[in-house]
Structures are given as structure tokens and as C-alpha cells.
Chain A
Amino acid sequence: MPSLAGLFFWMNRKIENINKITVNKPLKLDCGKTIKDFPLAYETYGKLNENKDNAILVFHALTGDQFVAGTNPVTKKDGWWVTAVGPNKAIDTNKYFVICANVIGGCMGSLGPSDINKETNQPYGLDFPVITIKDIVRAQEPLLDHLGIKKLLCATGGSMGGMQLLQFCATFPEKTFSAIPIACSSSHSAQNIALNELARQAIMADPVWDNGKYFLKNTQPKNGLAVARMVGHISYLSEQGMQEKFGRKLQEKADYEFSFNADFQVESYLRHQGSSFVERFDANSVLYITRAMDYFDLTKQYKGGLVEAFKNQSTKFLVISFSSDWLYTTKENKDIVIALNASGADVSYSEIVTDKGHDSFLLNEPEFLKTLKGFIDSMYEKFKK
């Protein structure tokens, strides 16, 4: 049998030295299939204190991973949330113990479509079961037991991370003292499903994709995956933000080239985002994770709708939205607040005014970071023993 290690060129990344647990308990997925003895990769920052009351769980977004802060050991770039998490940051790792797990379906060490299917001794590809946000969340829960944490001080996440958080609060009602869903939604909108479909179709239209079997040729559908990433990036910015950042500025040239090269800075930016993404992310993972997002509808899971999902919550919520976010709008975030209010939960809400769009939660947005810090610190004062 040929060695399958390092089969894909993108897997030349060194991901062997990352923290993992093996989840032995069988997990019955929403699709009906069961997974067991699967790897769940995670990273922690800071120290868990003696009382174990300073733990904060972060859920990552679609293309994120467990490397929240510091330097990502695989990509050698900054962790995806260094603006908010680290020593003396809004989520201060001198004070708090921050945990983040890689989602199943992903490609940074947790079970995903690029892993070897023990039944065939080949990577899963499209044989990987279709997963949901609920599956993703339930797969992460054993990590808290492993780390010896009975109740979290706080759980947070933006975008798909926020969706996981809402699911987490509904499925495990007493597991966290406070929760901060950021720029998310309780059910994926038609527009968001449409954008995800665009990303998937771009990947599937790439002939290299080959029904997800590109791994047999030790390659990956780079062109399709790059276009998928470009679609995403457009949706993370706002019209105004994009205009201010790029306008009609040309890319290192004085005039049009009268060609289809990247004349405009915005084109060059998107191409760069696309090409750097294919170095670190698996195309099939994008298919599986975007599908999980599309299937997400908390209102459907609970017969009484969202209000029922959040019934009997003692968790203290802070919902945050960004004024120029057109992917997960203020309106969608407010619907979460209304449902929480109607169910009698303790919920705060803040809309941060910014022109930076959905991406704002990843950026150095002072008002956002101040709000985050103020809430977490005040929650710690209430929660600590």
C-alpha cells in the first residue's frame, strides 16, 4: 500500500504536532450515519486557573481553524483572531484560558473529508458524511470533559462561529455562564445559501475537482477553490468599505493594459486572497462546511421556534452586529435578541457602527473590542468563585 501521508500538495503542511483528542464515543450524525474514534484537533491559550472558572470557548468561522491567537504553526501567519485574543487583548490570555477546536469537516486535524476512510484506506472525499452545525458542535463537547471544565465562563464566535455558539447554547443549556454571538444568524438566509452555492459550484466546475477525487492525483482544484474564496471575500466587505479601500485604483500601473490581467487593485486583492487560500484549505472541506451552514436553522429544530430553542436559559448573552454587514445583517442578529427576550433570557445587544462589513469582527475595531472586553470582564466578576 502506498504511503498516503502527504498525499495532497496542500497537505505538505506540517500538521502532525498539533493537539488532538480521539473521541471514542460514537456520534450519531443528523444524516443518520455514525462516526466514532475520530480525531478532534484543538489549541489552548493562557492557563486554566485552580477554580476552573476562567475558560472561554471560541468557535471558529468557515475558513478558520483552532489557531486563534499568536502565530499559526502551520501557516506561519497570525492566528485568525489576534486582534481580540492574546496577552492584554480584549480576551486577555494572561487572565483567561482560551480554547478553540477545529470543526469536523475541516482540514486542520479534526476528522474531515481529506482524512483516511478506514474502510477504503483512501481519503473520504465525497464519502464523508454530510454534517450539520449541530454535529460540529456535538463533536466538540467531549473536549470540555477532556480539559476538565464543567462550566465555561464564556463562549463566543463570529459568523459560522456564532451559529455554532447558538447551537451550543440550545443543545447544552448550562455549559456556559455567558455567550457572545457575533455577526451571525439563527437560520441561514436565502442570500447566504446562494453565495455558498456559488462557492460550491465554482469548486465543482473545476475539472480537477473530479467528483471530489482530486486526492488520487495528489492535487487540488485550485482555480475553483480560489474563485470560491473570492466570492467569500466580496461578501465579507461592504460596498462603502471596498470603495474606500480600492476605489478604481490601478495595480502598480499608470493606465489600463487593455487585457484581462489584474488592472485594478481590487482584482489583484481578490486574486491574492484566492491563491493564498488554496495553500491552506481543502476544497472538499469548503463543500462540507458550507453545506452545514446552509442546513442551519434553529427555528426548525425546535417546534416552538427560536423562543423554544432558548427556553430556560440562565446564560447571559451579548449579541453584537455590525452596521455595514450585509451577510449577517443587523436585522438577523436582532431576531436572535428578540427571541432571547421573548424566552426571558438575559440578553444585551450592541450594533457597532462601521463601514468594514462582515469582516469587522476580525479587524481592529476599537468599539467592538472595548465592548467585548467590558462584557467578558464584568461576567468574570460575577462568575468567579
Chain B
Amino acid sequence: MKQEFKVIANLLPDNTRVLDVGCGDGSLMNFLVKEKNIETRGLELDQNNVQECIYKGLTVIQGNAETELYQFPDQSFDYVVLSQTLQAFYKPDKVLNELLRIGKSVIVSIPNFGYWKVRTSLLLFGKMPITKTLPNTWFNTPNLHMCTIKDLYNYCEDQNINIKKVIGVNESNTSSIKRSNLEIKNLFSKLGIFLIG
């Protein structure tokens, strides 16, 4: 399982109820069910991924998170997980509000546009960055609203969203991010994982 999922799994207590928004082929859910006795539900757009989840015996609803989160009742999950998709929505702020409505807590991970390689690509070469976490070119990227760890941190504070924990991920290294080290972590983290709500 990829490092990001390990970090997310560690944030989730055993025996809880988790909604995985954009659950892909269900690999995170499968781990959570088997290793942590977590009751999971997934929401996934892609038909092949939905089938994969069903083969694994996972509960998954085919649908678009942008428009179909309304079907989940208020506070019906202990945690809602959204992995590296926030930036791909037309209205990420609305989606974030929906996640906070459905979950008592929300875990959101974002590819960090403030990572130094991303910054240098634009600054030194004048080109849109292509990295491991941002593999697409400008014309075919699904990402509409790129942001940095600092942006999301500030956004949460502005919106009075309670930040419980922020973790920066760079390959296998993880570190805790606070207001005091935000500038430096924003430069050296490829990924930011936020526990909010």
C-alpha cells in the first residue's frame, strides 16, 4: 500500500465508520476492513473501479462526488476520506463543506503545489510542472484548482474549520505540520494530509 494510505490508515481508529470518497479500486478500504475492523463505504465514478470493489466484497456506490454527496445523511460517518481529488472538482469549497457535513472528521490529502520542484519548474523553466504527484501535462490534467499546503491551511483557518492534524509526506518521510513550520514544510512536502472537522 502506498505511503499516503499508510498515513491515512494510521489516522483512523479501529472499529469506526469511514466513507472513502473517490475510493478507486478499494485498496484503502480493503486494508481498513481487514486490518482495523472498520466499516467502510466507497463512492467511485469509474465503472471498472466499482467492479473491482464489488469483487473484493466492498460496499461501493457509483457516482460523482461533485454532485452526489447529498445522498449521505448528516454526520453519518466517523471519518470521510478524500485522497488527492479536492483539486479536481469544479467547486472544491462546496465539496469540502459536504464532506464536513457527512463526517464527524474529514481527512483530505492534496498534491502540494508549493513543493520546491513544482516551484522551480515554473520559476526557472517557465513550464507547468510535471512530477510524480502531478504527472499530467497542462492540457490533459484533471486538476482545476491546484493549491499548496499553505493555501489549504489558511483556507481552513479563514473558514473556521478546526485543523486537528496536518502531515507532510515526502516519499517515505512524514512530518507534522504546524503554523510555526508551515513555510518550510510547504516547500519540502510532496503531499499534505489534513485531518479536520
**Interface size class, chain A:** 20 to 34
A330-385 contacts to B, CB under 8 A, are 334, 337-338, 341-342, 344, 346-353, 367, 370-371, 374-375, 377-379, 381-382
Contact of B56 among A344, A367, A370, A378 (CB under 8 A): A378
User: Within 8 Å CB of A348, what residues of B?
Assistant: 50, 53-54, 58-61
User: Within 8 Å CB of A342, what residues of B?
Assistant: 71, 73
Contact B59 A346 (CB under 8 A): yes
Q: How far is the CA of A20 from the CA of B57 in the complex (A)?
A: 36
Whether A318 touches B71, Cβ cut-off 8 Å, given contacts A347-B59, A348-B59, A349-B61, is no
Q: How far is the CA of A270 from the CA of B58 in the complex (A)?
A: 42
**In the assembled complex, how far is the CB of residue B53 from the closest CB belonging to chain A, in whole angstroms?**
8
Please name the residue on chain A nearest to B57 by beta carbon.
Answer: A378
B45-73 contacts to A, CB under 8 A, are 47, 50-51, 53-63, 71-73
Query: B76 contacts the other chain (Cβ, under 8 Å)?
Result: yes
Contact A382 B51 (CB under 8 A): no
Query: A271 contacts the other chain (Cβ, under 8 Å)?
Result: no
Please name the residue on chain A nearest to B73 by beta carbon.
Answer: A342
Contact A337 B57 (CB under 8 A): no
Query: A52 contacts the other chain (Cβ, under 8 Å)?
Result: no
Contact B57 A381 (CB under 8 A): yes
Contact B54 A378 (CB under 8 A): yes
**In the assembled complex, how far is the CB of residue A41 from the closest CB belonging to chain B, in whole angstroms?**
33
Contact of A382 among B57, B71, B76 (CB under 8 A): B57
Contact A374 B71 (CB under 8 A): no
Q: How far is the CA of A84 from the CA of B192 in the complex (A)?
A: 46
Q: How far is the CA of A30 from the CA of B33 in the complex (A)?
A: 43
Contact of B54 among A318, A337, A344, A382 (CB under 8 A): A318
Q: How far is the CA of A370 from the CA of B47 in the complex (A)?
A: 11
User: Within 8 Å CB of B54, what residues of A?
Assistant: 318, 348, 350, 371, 374-375, 378
Contact of A374 among B47, B51, B61, B63 (CB under 8 A): B51
**In the assembled complex, how far is the CB of residue A126 from the closest CB belonging to chain B, in whole angstroms?**
43
Query: A311 contacts the other chain (Cβ, under 8 Å)?
Result: no
Please name the residue on chain B nearest to A321 by beta carbon.
Answer: B62
Please name the residue on chain B nearest to A367 by beta carbon.
Answer: B47
Contact A379 B57 (CB under 8 A): yes
Contact B47 A353 (CB under 8 A): yes
Q: How far is the CA of A349 from the CA of B71 in the complex (A)?
A: 12
User: Within 8 Å CB of A334, what residues of B?
Assistant: 63, 71
Contact A351 B62 (CB under 8 A): yes
Q: How far is the CA of A352 from the CA of B47 in the complex (A)?
A: 8
Q: Told that A337-B61, A349-B60, A351-B62 touch, could you supply 18 new A-B pairs with CB distance under 8 A?
A: A316-B59, A334-B71, A341-B61, A341-B76, A346-B59, A347-B59, A348-B53, A348-B60, A348-B61, A349-B63, A350-B47, A350-B54, A351-B47, A352-B47, A353-B47, A371-B50, A374-B55, A379-B57
25 contacts between A and B (CB under 8 A): A334-B71, A337-B61, A337-B71, A341-B61, A341-B71, A341-B72, A342-B73, A344-B76, A346-B59, A347-B61, A348-B50, A348-B53, A348-B58, A348-B61, A349-B61, A349-B63, A350-B47, A350-B50, A351-B47, A351-B62, A370-B51, A371-B51, A374-B54, A375-B54, A381-B57
